[in-house]
Amino acid sequence: MALRVLATPPPGSGLKPVVGDPGLPYIGNTLQVMRQPFKVSRERYARFGPVSWSWLLGQQTITAQGPEAAEAVLVNRDKAFANGPAWSYFIGPFFHRGIMLLDFDEHLHHRRIMQQAFNKPRLRTYMDAMAPGIAKGLDAWEPGHGFRFYDHVKQLTLDLATDVFMGVALDRAEADRINGAFIDAVRAGTAYVRRPVPGLRWHKGVRARAVLEEFFRRHLPAKRRDGGDDLFAALCQAETDDGHRFTDDDVVNHMIFALMAAHDTTTITLTTMAYYLAKHPEWQERLRDESLALGKPALEFDDLDTMTGIDMVMKEALRLVAPVPALPRRVVKDTSVLGFHIPAGTTIVVPLLTNHHMPEWWPEPDRFDPERFAPERREDKAHKYAWAPFGGGAHKCIGLHFAGMQVKSIMHQLLLTRRWSVPGRYTWPLDTTSLPSPKDGLPVRLDRLEPR
Ligand code: HEM
């Protein structure tokens, strides 16, 4: 295959050029990367080391592999990497002006305001608010064979998001309409045809955005007026010490983005945990014992740190299947990463999903082994960015504590009320062409447990 230099480094800079096997212009090896990300990334690392390039989804894309490269890109000391233009290429029309799509001073301004909606007192309130919704949601999970775990947990996290985030009671039809709109908006991001052709992904995404905007605008005046304990009210009320607040447009844009950011990612985390806990029943029992020992039907905020088993399994699930598989950035000025010349105008990607499977950083990387996060091992400490499912730097996930709270709360209640299993030879078909999810919805056998 033809090797090509992306751009010649400036004379005398001492920088190395980025080399790659880019494939055909625009198309490159997009299909292989999306379908076999682990194989492609290992081959690429072996051939080119941490920094290489190829055509990907129509763009000249540099892949910055491994934790050292991840740190350089995400910490972004030079301010050479921008989120807005990079993410907009994938999700711009659907998640317009979401905070992840803002950059530098403007981003910082919005982040400071949004932080108020994620402070500790708010988190406590959200956690208390979600417990009854989890119990109600799980109660409707009927035991049986072929129970599609992913589909059910997605429904549950969306219902919780509308509860805890919006504080608005939705009937089933309306909740389904909004859920459908989120699914279409997310899927549109990895459309092959990136124009609104009726019936195809991109077009559905554009229509979905209109549905979501109308929905939030309709509810906004009441929320501004009445306040409440939900995220929607928190964003309406959030104010920095120097008196900055969000406009109505900001609140709508941030709500659409936050709901998307929250419900898909936690769904994937819970599904991955469920899959591995079904494949490793000894771990499922260990976690169940831990939950039983707590002696409470629902987790409370102060219990979070004591649930060490759930914590390790959650971390291992986030390592094995990073819900946000890659973080793209647009290179807005010439810069360097690990001594490589990175030219302006290209896209650079931090591949979280495959970084977490690098044998250079993780012993037996494909094996489910939650004890790697036990205090005496802490394999994630090999490098600050070895385990980075929430990203890092200025855009590090603002909802990471919320995510931990929600995932642990659901898992605790699930362990106490249900047991689930898969046949011994079952291996899930993981679809990596969009956010990772099981193609078959993860069918499990679900049994109800009698209260002990
Ligand atoms: C396990 C669950 C989650 C994972 C793995 C996850 C992952 C991430 C990652 C990797 C980023 C960084 C994107 C980038 O640098 O380009 C991010 C940003 C973000 N996440 Fe999460 N997330 C999760 C849950 C949540 C939840 C529950 C919320 C809201 C309640 C949330 C809200 C956000 C927001 C608002 C940003 C943008 C922050 C910024 O740009 O300043 N996330 N998330």
Rounded to the nearest angstrom, the distance between the alpha carbon of 186 and the centre of ligand 1 is 14
Sequence-distant (≥ 6) Cβ neighbours of residue 68 within 8 angstroms: 50, 338, 383, 385
pTM: 0.96
> For a pLDDT cut of 90, what percent of the chain falls above it?
80
CA torsion angle 387 389 394 395 (round to 10): 170
Could you tell me the pLDDT band of residue 165, with boundaries at 50, 70 and 90?
Answer: confident
Q: What pLDDT digit, counting tens, does each position of 332-352 carry?
A: 999 999 999 999 999 999 999
Q: What is the full DSSP assignment across 32-67?
A: HHHH-HHHHHHHHHHHH-SEEEEEETTEEEEEE-HH
**pLDDT > 80? residue 451:** no
Question: How many angstroms is it from 220 CA to the middle of ligand 1?
Answer: 23
Pocket of ligand 1 (CB under 6 A): 83, 99-100, 111, 258, 261-262, 265-266, 269, 323-324, 327, 389-391, 395, 397-399, 402-403
The rounded Å distance from CA 260 to ligand 1 centre is: 9
Helix H segments across 49-119? 66-75, 84-91, 104-115
- Of 167, 180, 230, the residue nearest 207 (C-alpha): 180
Domain that holds residue 417: 4-448
Question: With 90 as the cut, is the pLDDT of residue 32 above it?
Answer: no
H helical segments located in 280-360: 281-294, 308-320, 352-355
Cα–chain center distance at 250: 22
Q: Among 246, 397, 410, which residue has the most ligand 1 atoms within 8 Å of its CB, making it the best to mutate?
A: 397
Q: Binding site membership for heme: which residues?
A: 397
From the alpha carbon of 83, which atom of ligand 1 is closest?
16
Please determine, for residue 52, whether its predicted confidence score (pLDDT) is greater than 80.
yes
- Compute the distance from residue 396 Cα to the ligand 1 centre, in Å: 7
pLDDT at residue 29 is higher than 90: no
Give the residue whose CA is nearest to atom 16 of ligand 1: 327
What average pLDDT does this structure show over 118-129? 94
Confidence band of 260 (pLDDT split at 50, 70, 90): confident
CATH code at position 326: 1.10.630.10
Please say whether the dihedral angle defined by the alpha carbons of residues 255, 260, 261 and 266, taken in this order, is positive or negative.
positive
- What local confidence, expressed as pLDDT, does residue 1 receive? 64
Task: Specify the pairing of strand 327-331 against strand 347-350.
Answer: antiparallel
The reported pLDDT for the residue numbered 278 is 98
* Mean pLDDT over the full length of the chain: 94
How crowded is residue 428: how many other Cβ atoms within 10 Å of its Cβ? 22
Q: Ligand 1 centre and the CA of 400: distance in Å?
A: 7
Tally of structural domains, the chain: 1
